[in-house]
Structure 1
């Protein structure tokens, strides 16, 4: 069971396969792993102890950043994520980033995002589209059209607690006009946008 894997000089935490979305560009549809990793499909949801054990046994030489990102939405297990982040902060000097769909308010309405303060250094939020309708078409969230505004609200609010917040879009079936609209949407929120290139070959994924 692959809980941690190394990619592009960073250590990634694959703590769940659960996700409330089914994005058209999702790399899970192209293969079992990323960048030559072993399969990221988990046999079961790993416990806190299993995650920490895997963390301790992983070769962390040269690693400066831990990213919660795998074959699922990491904030589906927000409480476990927070506990693991506490452990990592206590025992290492690593920066910690979360790659998220930003739907925590719908996934877990009781979660207080202020818990990210002092634990998480960076949050990358999947913007995915410039408006709710296009977002719904691309992301297929189980919560429907309200998902878009929930994601935006999270991205805006989390800036109070996390030093570095960014948006991403994947240029899958996007034209320049839509990308520019996404830039404008991100700017309205005061958040920088990173455009990621779609790669169908997971070994070459960026």
Structure 2
């Protein structure tokens, strides 16, 4: 069971396989692993003790950051993410990033960015679309049409509490939609990264 896996200068944390989206470009539908890791499918949701034990196998001095991004939406387990992030910080003051779909507020039925403020240094949010209609088609969120606005509100909150915030889109959408996504990101003062599908 792969809980931690390195890619270049980052150490990734695979904390859950749960997710509330079924994105059309999801890597989980194509391969069992990323960046040469073993399979990222978990046979159970890892406990804190299992995560801490796995961390002992890695030297944090070898990495520039720790990233919560596995085969699921890390903030489905927001309490565990925060606890493990704080634990990592006791080992080394290393940058900690979360890659998220930004639907944490809907998952937990409350504002959640504020909970991350002391544990997390950077958040990358999957914008994935310039408007709610395209977002519904691309991300297929379990929460329906309200998901897009909830994600944008989470991003705005993150700007208040988190040092680094960025959006990403995958080039699954059209050039025009990518341009519109860039304009939306600009209007919110949040940088946008365009990811190559499966890249």
**Same fold at TM > 0.5:** yes
Q: State the distance in 1 between where 2:115 and 2:131 align.
A: 29
1:142-161 equivalences under 5 Å are: 142-161=142-161
CA contact (8 A) 1:64 1:93 kept: no
CA distance, structure 2, for counterparts of residue 71 and residue 197 of structure 1: 18
Gaps of 5+ in 1: 200-205
- TM-score w.r.t. structure 2 length? 0.97
CA RMSD in angstroms comes to 1.1
The 8 Å contact of residues 128 and 170 in structure 2, kept in 1 or not, is answered as: yes
2:65 aligned partner: 65
**Aligned residue for 1:7?**
7
Superposed, 1:22-41 pairs within 5 Å as: 22-41=22-41
The count of corresponding residues between Structure 1 and Structure 2 is 199
Deviation of 1:86 (Å): 0.6
2:100 is aligned to 100
1:58 deviates by 2.6
Aligned partners of 1:52 and 1:12: how far apart in 2?
14
Deviating beyond 3 angstroms after TM superposition, the runs of 4 or more aligned structure 1 residues are none
Tell me which residue corresponds to 2:56.
56
Q: Secondary structure at the match of 1:72?
A: coil
SS of 2:56's partner is helix
Q: Secondary structure at the match of 2:161?
A: coil
* Stretch moving more, 117-126 or 72-81: 117-126
- How far apart, CA to CA, are the structure 2 residues paired with 1:115 and 1:141? 23
Question: 1:118 deviation in Å?
Answer: 2.3
SS at match of 2:133: helix
SS at match of 1:39: coil
1:74-113 CA deviation, whole Å, 9 max, x = no partner?
0000000000011011111210000000001110124642
Q: Note the residue ranges of structure 2 that are not aligned, 5 or more in a row.
A: none
3-state SS in 2 of match to 1:160: helix
CA displacement at 1:10 relative to structure 2? 0.6
1: distance between equivalents of 2:69 and 2:22? Answer: 15
Q: State the secondary structure of the residue aligned to 1:125.
A: strand
Deviation by residue 1:13-45 (Cα, 9 ceiling, x = unmatched): 000000000000000011100011100000100
